[in-house]
Amino acid sequence: MAALARIGGRYLKSVGVINTTASSCYLTQRRGVATKLFVGGLSFYTTEQGLLEAFSQCGQVVEAQIVMDRVSDRSKGFGFVTFASDDDARKALMEFNGQQLNGRVIFVDYAKAKQTFGGGGGGVPVARGPPKPGEVAATTTHETLNMD
């Protein structure tokens, strides 16, 4: 049953409750990067299933991902393992960092948040060659050009 609440002169309708036994996608978003580990130094023969099985010794693995090269479709030698809890991730970090997996010494660390580049106009302008005849070159400041 939906509940109505009056806030600031408006009525808001509550439409549901988040399930505490939610999907793996929800767990990852809710808990953040503390449950996601970077795994480097992987053998090119390590599969996502093999990575999942190895790290499952430390707890519930939500996702195991190996990063592939787009051109060659081969492993880049690193990947990510996401756990359901911070404690499981910490245990895996302590247990697997510096150990061998498929004949290679692997390096495990907490994953860093993905950096986004772009937008905002606060960086250095990118030159794309000289201006074409009739075009005005872009300025590094945000001034309005007077074209009389």
Domain limits of the chain?
A: 31-110
CB–CB of 25/80 below 8 Å? no
Banded pLDDT at 3 (limits 50, 70, 90): very low
Beta-carbon contacts of 5 under 8 Å, excluding residues fewer than 6 positions away, are: 11, 12, 14
Please give the CATH superfamily to which domain 31-110 belongs.
RRM (RNA recognition motif) domain (3.30.70.330)
For 42-66, how does the pLDDT look when each residue is reduced to its tens digit (9 = 90+)?
A: 999 999 999 999 999 999 999 999 9
pTM of the model: 0.58
